[in-house]
Amino acid sequence: MLKNQLIKLCFLLLCFNSSVACSAVTTQSSTQANTQSTSQSKGTVLITGANRGLGLALSRHFIADGYKVIGTARKPHKATDLKAAGAQVVQLDVTDDESIAAMAKTLQGVAIDIVVNNAGYVNDYTRGIESFKKSTREEYLRTYNINTVGPVLVAKALYPNLLLSKASVKKLVNTSSQGGIVDRKGTHAIYAYDTSKTALNKLTNELAKDLKADNITVISLAPGWNKTRTGGEGARLEPEVSMAQAKKVIESLTIENTGTFVTYSGRSVKW
């Protein structure tokens, strides 16, 4: 009788142990799949509009420091500098829902630690009253589509990827501009561009509240005035220099920083 009970107990224990082992293996393998890139690197960063300008410079800095970078480009076959830098290149036009869906499908199940909404567009450099008189509906809508609607839809598409991240804090960085400051003294606006960034800042503020429970810190980043196609040749900063600082700022973000607006050098900016 006692012998039978002992045999039964041993059997139950064996089953229990093997089921724990099995479930541990299952959990481990799915975790490995989800965090494969992060286990082999310092983390995975996705940067939109990474084929040139600030996105390319930021990609290079993250790659040089051992991160896996997924850089998006509207025309991947032309993103030779981004490929040469060592990024995985994924097609993305932020104004095209099919393109956003295809990117999300390509990246399904991939844990992403940091998303940088960098892609942007400036319609014109006219400021103040001239900008007000000149800007058309078409220009406003195109600019808002790329600079405002694009980032929030990209964030929505990649939200599941951020949730898969095992990083202590996940990050969503919206590349904004000091032109987006509501009451900016001493300068007049490029109407469509500056107001598209103001709206982006409001999205940052709302997303920060709504994604805090998921441990996702959301900020707006003012990258400074840089020598790129958007910034122009007369700009003050070299992208390699400003983006080296921006990378450090992004790395140092904690959940306490969520809902803030900071410059590439980490200085706080008023909304």
Ligand X SMILES: NC(=O)c1ccc[n+]([C@@H]2O[C@H](COP(=O)([O-])OP(=O)(O)OC[C@H]3O[C@@H](n4cnc5c(N)ncnc54)[C@H](OP(=O)(O)O)[C@@H]3O)[C@@H](O)[C@H]2O)c1
| Residues at the contact surface with ligand X, assessed by CB under 6 A | 48-49, 51-55, 74-75, 92-95, 118-121, 146, 175, 177, 223, 225-226, 228-231, 235
Q: What is the helix, strand, coil percentage profile of the chain, to 5?
A: 55, 15, 30
Residue with token string 């009970």: 5
Burial 23-59 (b: 16+ CB within 10 A, else e): eeeeeeeeeeebbebbeebebbbbbbbbbbbbbbbbb
Nearer to ligand X by Cβ, of 32 and 80: the residue is: 80
CB of 48 to ligand X, least distance (A): 6
Contact at 8 Å (CB) between 177 and 194? yes
Nearer to ligand X by Cβ, of 48 and 131: the residue is: 48
Count of CB atoms situated within 10 Å of the CB of 163:
15
Nearer to ligand X by Cβ, of 122 and 167: the residue is: 122
Nearer to ligand X by Cβ, of 223 and 259: the residue is: 223
d(CA 200, CA 216): 17
CB of 35 to ligand X, least distance (A): 27
Nearer to ligand X by Cβ, of 48 and 258: the residue is: 48
CB of 256 to ligand X, least distance (A): 25
Q: In what order do the strands lie in the sheet with 260-263?
A: 88-91, 68-73, 44-47, 114-117, 170-175, 216-222, 260-263
Nearer to ligand X by Cβ, of 67 and 144: the residue is: 144
CB of 206 to ligand X, least distance (A): 19
CB of 149 to ligand X, least distance (A): 10
d(CA 156, CA 172): 11
Nearer to ligand X by Cβ, of 34 and 48: the residue is: 48
d(CA 209, CA 88): 31
Radius of gyration of the chain from Cα atoms?
23
CB of 237 to ligand X, least distance (A): 7
CB of 211 to ligand X, least distance (A): 20
